[in-house]
Structure 1
Amino acid sequence: MTDPVQLLIDAGAIPSTPFGPASRYNGVPLALLQRRPDQPGQVYVKRRFIPAPSRIAVAARHAVTAQERPDLLGAKYLGDPLLYWRIADANAVVDPNELTDTLGRRVAIPLPPGM
Structure 2
Amino acid sequence: MKNPIQAMYEAGIVEATDFPANSRYHGVPTRMHTAHDGRQLPYLARRFVPTPEKFATAGYRMVVEGERLDQVAAEILGNAEAFWLHCDANRTIWAEELEQTGREIRLTLPEGVPGPEEEL
Interval containing the TM-score (normalised by the shorter chain): 0.7 to 0.9
> Quick one: distance in 1 between partners of 2:84 and 2:64?
19
Q: Could you list the runs of 4 or more consecutive aligned residues of structure 1 that deviate by over 6 angstroms after TM superposition? A: none
What TM-score, normalized to structure 2? 0.74
Structure-2 residue corresponding to 1:110: 108
> Quick one: distance in 1 between partners of 2:94 and 2:83?
11
Work out the number of aligned pairs and report it: 98
- 1:77–1:112 CA contact under 8 A, matched in 2: no
For structure 1, the 5+ residue unaligned runs are 1-15
> Quick one: distance in 1 between partners of 2:92 and 2:25?
16
- 1:73–1:84 CA contact under 8 A, matched in 2: yes
Over alpha carbons, which structure has the higher Rg? 1
Say whether residues 1:23 and 2:20 are aligned partners. Answer: no
What TM-score, normalized to structure 1? 0.77
Percent sequence identity over aligned pairs? 35
Structure-2 residue corresponding to 1:95: 94
Letter in 2 for 1:21: A
